[in-house]
Structure 1
Amino acid sequence: MNALMLLVQKLSCDVEEHVFSEVSLAIEKPESYFEKFKERLDERGIDSPIDQLAWISLVDALLDHDLAFELDWKESGLYICDVVDELLDRKKMAYISWGDFEDEEFDELPTSQCLNEISGKLKEVGISLAYLDIDSDSYVLITVPSSDIDDIKKMAQEAGYSIQDSF
């Protein structure tokens, strides 16, 4: 099994069959995938099958099943905490108290700094906050057990893509 399909297994939680199906279609029949998901791809400015179609199909499938969240580069503060809460809840991961982050100062930090602060808090309970790099001005956030993050990053690299856990 190739590295991208191993990533599907690692990231797709309880919807592996759905995600596998979409990514497989993008790999095996890119034109069919493009036609089936034309509207979704159009929102990304993709108007024909591209080399990164399998990666985008993984990203979009994870987004559709609430296993990832695409965050604008200029979001900050407690909104990001709420997003992370949703990701944690979807995967039935640890509850996090964001009390330390409820001051105005945190809310005014740049997005990357907020993400680093949140990531540090998550690491305390064995969870990594990471993002799937889609060469965009947004972050496609995921949460994974810290024990899996190095393998996940390596699989992405082997597949020709990037997952990062530093912002």
Structure 2
Amino acid sequence: MSDTTIEDWARLCALLDDDPELEPAVRQAVADETDAWQVLIDGLDEAGALAYLDGKDTGIELADALPALPRIFRTGVDVDEVGDVDGELSAAVVRADELLNPHGLRLVYLDEDTDAYPLVAVPTANVDEIIALSERLGHTARAFG
């Protein structure tokens, strides 16, 4: 693995969460040539920074999951109305983003190629770089709205 790739993984970890165990675990996965993306997602989940939903979930499940995310919890934002959004989960994510935006946060989806729907709350200023780094590393991250 090139130094640039390792630096990209390290930067992505820093942009997604401040858990001190995340970057070393991802670096080790890169060194071992294992699935660093899955290690990243699992590490975010273990750190409590990930709303790990199913693609068939609704706004109700999203509204239940979001307050547990530390960045969202610290804002005190009330996301209950996200549960009132009918339709696909992505529509509820758009509504959640509208509520989080005044607090400088957005939700980013990290694609796992499964029915899972992992979402992480990140500072709005980091979203474009997270998406670009993910793409450069061969993975998909996307924002909504």
TM over 0.5: yes
- The partner residue of 1:117 within 90, 95, 101 is 95
Q: Distance in 1 between matches of 2:39 and 2:129?
A: 21
Whole-Å separation in 1 of the counterparts to 2:83 and 2:54: 20
Cα 1:57–1:99 change in 2 (3 A) is closer
Partner of 1:132: 110
CA-CA distance at 1:160 after TM superposition: 1.7
Instruction: State how far apart, in whole Å, the 2-side matches of 1:29 and 1:102 are.
Output: 41
Deviation at 1:124, TM superposition (A): 3.2
Distance 1:99 1:9 in 2: 29
2:77 aligned partner: 96
CA distance in 2, matches of 1:79, 1:163: 21
2:16 to 11, 20, 24: 11
Cα distance in structure 1, aligned partners of 2:80 and 2:110 = 28
How far is the alpha carbon of 1:59 from its aligned partner? 0.6
SS in 2 for 1:112: helix
Gaps of 5+ in 2: 1-5
Cα distance, 1:101–1:139 mapped onto 2, change above 3 Å: closer
Deviations, residues 10-47 of structure 1 (Å, cap 9, x unaligned): 2231x22x1122112211124xxxxxxxxxxxxxxxxx
- Kindly provide the amino acid, as one letter, of the partner of residue 55 in structure 1: W
Percent identity at matched positions?
Answer: 23
Aligned partner of residue 164 in structure 1, secondary structure: strand
Residue 144 (structure 1) aligned to one of 119, 122, 133? 122
> Separation in 1 of the partners of 2:78 and 2:51?
20
RMSD: 2.0
**1:65 matched to 2:70:** no
Normalized against structure 1, the TM-score is what?
Answer: 0.73
Contact 1:2–1:159, Cα closer than 8 Å, also in 2:
no
Return the match for 2:64 from 74, 78, 82.
82
| TM-score normalised by the chain length of structure 2 | 0.83
Indicate if the aligned counterparts of 2:63 and 2:81 stay in contact, CA closer than 8 A.
no
- Kindly name which structure, 1 or 2, has the bigger radius of gyration based on alpha carbons: 1
When the two structures are aligned, how many residues end up with a matched partner? 139
